[in-house]
């Protein structure tokens, strides 16, 4: 039986994987958890705080019906670096505000996101548009709060937005989403101004492979 003798304070795991040609590959993963302090310093987490290797996808809610918290780390090939942001947006200084701009930057790669409080689809001047956001203090950054989801018009097909099946706002008739929740997350360069199917999902978390 394949075994690992781990002499480090970090987490390890192993598995037999199959590559596209059908060959069996013994995969060994070592995972180190570090703590980022407010002053910007980085240090290894205590041994009891080291996160285990993720052996299967983890969801925020029901598997297949919610966004991914973490994807399996036991893969036979990993050609790049993943930067996964599971976080919430907070109003500056804890003072409620209607929206806040958040983002992450790693080297030359940067991603920005506008986070708005709860709002609903309303009719205005003959169009279906998001209502004005109310002040908020904290908001989870998850794809459930981005554009997408399932059309409330059961007679229409297809019934979901394949770009983000767990989101909100997707429809076949604007009237079908009146009074329903509008997205809280949007691309600052492509704000969601109306219930138009050209709206784009925006987020910072994992995009599920399905």
CA 88 to chain centre: 11
Residues whose CB falls within 8 Å of the CB of residue 191, separated by 6 or more in sequence, listed in order: 114
Looking at residue 78, what is its pLDDT?
82
Q: Above 90 in pLDDT, residue 160?
A: no
Strand, helix or coil for residue 49: helix
The stretch 101-126 carries a mean pLDDT of: 94
Mean pLDDT along residues 61-74: 91
Least confident segment among 14-18, 49-53, 96-100:
14-18
Predicted local confidence at residue 159, as pLDDT:
85
Check pLDDT > 90 for residue 173.
no
Give the pLDDT of residue 25: 92
pLDDT value at position 1? 61
Report the alpha-carbon distance of residue 163 to residue 29 in Å, rounded: 30
Block residue for tokens 């041994």: 47
Mean pLDDT along residues 7-21: 92
Residue 156: the pLDDT is: 60
pLDDT at 209: 80
DSSP-derived secondary structure letter, 184: S
Residues 101-107 have a mean pLDDT of: 93
Number of helices and strands in the chain (H, E): 0, 15
Q: Is 148 exposed, middle or buried (0-12, 13-18, 19+ CB in 10 A)?
A: buried
Whole-angstrom distance, CA of residue 105 vs CA of residue 83: 10
What is the band of 3 on the pLDDT scale with cuts at 50, 70, 90? confident
What is the arithmetic mean of pLDDT over 139-160? 85
Residues 186, 116: contact at Cβ < 8 Å? yes
Decide: helix, strand or coil at residue 58.
Answer: strand
Burial of 106 (0-12, 13-18, 19+ CB in 10 A): exposed
> Cα angle at 26 between 22 and 32, to 5 degrees?
130
Nearest to 206 by CA among 26, 54, 48: 54
Q: Return the bridge partners of 169, or none.
A: 148
pLDDT over 70 at 158, yes or no: no
Arithmetic mean of pLDDT over the chain: 91
Distance of CA 181 to CAs 31, 91, 142, Å? Answer: 39, 21, 14
The CA–CA distances, whole Å, from 102 to 15, 36, 44, 51, 84 equal: 37, 18, 26, 26, 14
State mean pLDDT over 189-195: 91
Tell me which H or E stretch contains 116. Answer: strand 109-116
């Amino acid at each position: 039986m394949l075994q690992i003798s781990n002499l480090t304070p970090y987490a390890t795991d192993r598995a037999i994987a199959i590559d596209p040609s059908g060959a069996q590959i013994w995969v060994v993963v070592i995972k180190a958890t570090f703590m980022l302090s407010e002053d910007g310093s980085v240090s290894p987490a205590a041994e009891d705080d080291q996160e285990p290797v993720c052996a299967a996808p983890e969801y925020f809610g029901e598997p297949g019906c919610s966004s991914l918290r973490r994807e399996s780390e036991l893969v036979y090939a990993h050609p790049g670096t993943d930067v996964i942001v599971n976080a919430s947006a907070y109003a500056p200084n804890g003072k409620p505000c209607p929206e806040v701009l958040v983002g992450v930057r790693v080297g030359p790669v940067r991603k920005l996101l506008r986070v708005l409080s709860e709002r609903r689809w309303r009719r205005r001047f003959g169009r279906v548009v998001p209502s004005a956001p109310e002040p908020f203090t904290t908001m989870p950054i998850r794809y459930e709060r981005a554009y997408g989801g399932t059309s409330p018009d059961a007679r229409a097909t297809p019934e979901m937005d394949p770009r983000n099946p767990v989101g909100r706002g997707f429809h076949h008739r604007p009237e079908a989403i009146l009074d329903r929740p509008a997205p809280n997350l949007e691309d600052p360069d492509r704000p969601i101004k109306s219930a138009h199917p050209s709206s784009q999902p925006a987020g910072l978390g994992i995009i599920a492979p399905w």
